[in-house]
Amino acid sequence: MADKIVSNKTNLQILHEDNHIIVINKRVGDIVQGDKTGDKPLSEVVKEYIKEKYNKPGDVFLGVVHRLDRPTTGIVVFARTSKALERLNKMFSERETQKTYWAVVKNRPAKDEDNLVHFLVRNEKNNTSKAHSKEVPNSKKASLDYKIIKELNNYFALEINLHTGRHHQIRAQLSAIGCPIKGDLKYGFDRSNPDGGIHLHARKLVFIHPVSKEELTLVAPTPSDAIWNSL
């Protein structure tokens, strides 16, 4: 499927928009929902865009369905109606979606493709998750499949399909096999990226539209840098 992108003056990258949902290609540094930093979240930017575009009086409804880490890029879905939000929440929590990520790592994984299963323990204090090979107290099972899709100069590009949706799952699991993501200091990479982001991108999402019931396949173009562009 060809990359499709629509831009507008608020600099949002809109991948899909209809009366019930709006799908954004998140940039590095955007937070999906407000947090303790007080920085303006993507949800507020999208609300302002809808209010202005459709000349809506009063408050605009926008439901946050799922999140991406701040240094990560790619597909984020918002609901524009309460009916869509309820159905999407159910769909995402019951794993009725297909999520594909791209990641760039420096070390070659032991296998060209594999299923990784770990047990993650979240540390609220430093906002990380540690991956264990066996079940330990307070751990949650995490599973993903990866495959090498391209060998780059000094790096390897992986395609990842998630089976569970744990906190920092991809970052923690790849770090646990000795393949931290480029720029991800928190999980063992040796230096940061200039923009403060990491090379992890929510590339593709397949799901059933909550109202029309059509299958949607959305693909988010990668950020523009030398490494992503080589893919």
Q: Which of 3, 30, 69, 145 is catalytic?
A: 69
Q: Is 59 labeled as catalytic in the residue annotation? A: no
DSSP secondary structure string, the chain? Answer: -----EE-TT--EEEEE-SSEEEEEEPTT--SS--TT-PPPHHHHHHHHHHHHTT--SPPP-EE-----TT-EEEEEEESSHHHHHHHHHHHHTT-SEEEEEEEESSPPSSSEEEEEEEEEEETTTTEEEEESS--TT-EEEEEEEEEEEE-SS-EEEEEEESS--TTHHHHHHHHTT-PBTT-GGGT-SS--TTS--SEEEEEEEEE-TTT--EEEEEPPPPSSHHHHT-
Virtual torsion, Cα 23, 105, 130, 136, nearest 10 deg? 100
Q: Do 101 and 202 touch, CB atoms closer than 8 A?
A: yes
Q: Which amino acid is at 106?
A: K
Nearest Cα residue to 1 out of 75, 94, 67: 75
Residues with a catalytic annotation lie at 69
